[in-house]
Amino acid sequence: MGGFCGVVSKTDCVPALFFGTDYHSHLGTQRGGMAVLGENGFQRAIHNIQNAPFRSKFENDFAKFSGKSGLGVISDTDPQPLIVASHLGTYAIVTVGILTNIEDLMREQFETRRMQFQYSTTSGVVSPTAVVAALIDSRPSFAEGVKYAQEKIEGSCSLMILTGDGHFYAARDKWGRTPVIAGKSDDGFILLQESCAMPNLGYEPYRELGPGEMVEVTPDGMETLIPAGGEMAICSFLWVYYGYPASSYEGRNVEMARYRCGGYLARRNPVEADSVGGVPDSGVAHALGYSQESGTRYARPFVKYTPTWPRSFMPPDQKQRDLIAQMKLIPIPGLIRGKRLVFCDDSIVRGTQLRRQAKRLYGDGVKEIHMRIACPPLLYGCKFINFSRSKSVYDLATRRYIREVEGDDPSAVDKYRDADGAPYAAMVEHIRSGLGLTSLAFQRLEDLVAAIGLPKEKLCTYCWTGDDVSCKGGCAHCKGGCAAVKRA
């Protein structure tokens, strides 16, 4: 996915930018980058962070950079920030999101402006940030360019721009699928996605940008150039999995939402057990909420070894990720042998890692394994923010089962959305049996929405329901008529 941070300051911005960007490291694993506007122009550094954290890769740059404004990014798409020279001047730009219609955008820019885009020799893809910059440059001003880009992009794109003459702009994606949050100090402003970065850097929450809103920021204030739209579809998975526990989005804290998720799971799906634990890290808060609601004691049958294995999704190869996921979880035999255990986890995607862990637990002498999942079954691949590495919808355990039963008819998926229906129950039972679990239960959508605390119409729930509020028909991923598109 990715995350970014921008700082506009009366004094040196580099310390806040360096650590503010570092606080987004959980959102991406490929590259990190910073660009700072100093007295002699832009200073920029981009490093590969696949095998080392952002902080260690940028320590030398931190010591050398100086300036009052800057951009930082953790990117899973392309090397950023880009430095662009155009009729709008020289500027640095960072983006976060996914352009699902990038090929159409490239073709249009070639046909209308003879623009050509270079495919990366390492990744084999065109830089999405370069395509966004081209869209912006096709208009007379930054505000008009950003508005045009947001209208043309399918998927999502939040961005920040810093010009060579010191103008700083930030824009949230059209439907507000990812947050952009502003913090204020006596020295200026910070804009980022994870609000948890603010307290330790001396910033107070100021406000969140609305969907599609664009602002210009100076050390003394913030001016709206493009007003926020009236509709929002912020990603619900922020609260389920990839948002940082100490962060809040739209006024709803991640950790507290996960506590409530666990509480709903305990009320809906009670079971007699000796202890409840969370699959580290994101399952822990869900498990604590489950424990508090059910009265079942909390325990850690697995502990996570983080010094050298901080994240399971670092390598691009799935087999390597599965191996790392197993390596970093270390069992505590005294909490496993002969015990009836409840485990809470954020979601089930392929089910590969969970199957291996269940087999391992039985090998360690567990008596029962009851799995409680903090969100509904994933039925659709995300098309909007690029948080999943899945290449096909059939990577999902649910869709493999549905294809086996129903064939390749996309409309057959609809009946598996009903948590009270027989097809849903059969699907869950199939997954439970295949994973070797004593029992399996998923969160109900209405309970997840209640746990987050925002109206359902403001949340994107596409990966569970196939419903997309932004789909008006005719977009690239629709492939034609809209009735089939929403759940294609």
Q: 129-142: per-residue pLDDT in tens?
A: 999 999 999 999 99
Q: How far is CA 11 from its chain centroid? A: 32
What is the CA 134 to chain-centroid distance, rounded? 25
Please, which pLDDT band fits residue 481 given cuts at 50, 70 and 90? very low
Q: What is the DSSP letter of 428?
A: H
385 with 177: CB under 8 angstroms?
A: yes
In this prediction, residue 482 carries a pLDDT of 43
Do domains 2-232 and 252-485 share one topology? The answer is no
Q: For residue 34, what are its two tokens?
A: 């910073």
Residue 479 binned pLDDT confidence (cut-offs 50, 70, 90)? very low
Mean pLDDT, residues 233-237 taken together: 97
Give the pLDDT confidence score for residue 123 in this predicted structure.
60
Multiple choice CATH, 2-232, 3.60.20.10, 3.40.50.300, 3.10.180.10, 1.10.510.10: 3.60.20.10
Distance of CA 468 to the CA centre of its chain: 17
Domain ranges of the chain: 2-232, 252-485
Handedness of CA 380, 385, 391, 397 (dihedral sign): negative
Strand pairing of 41-48 and 69-75? unpaired
E strand or H helix at 136: helix 128-137
Fold assignment, 252-485: Rossmann fold (3.40.50)
pTM of the model: 0.91
Residue with tokens 């498990």: 287
Q: CA 313, 249, 74 angle in degrees (round to 5)? A: 40
User: What is the per-residue pLDDT across 287-336, written as a single tens digit (0 to 9) for each?
Assistant: 999 999 999 999 999 898 876 655 544 455 556 556 566 677 889 999 99
Looking at residue 23, the DSSP 8-state letter turns out to be T
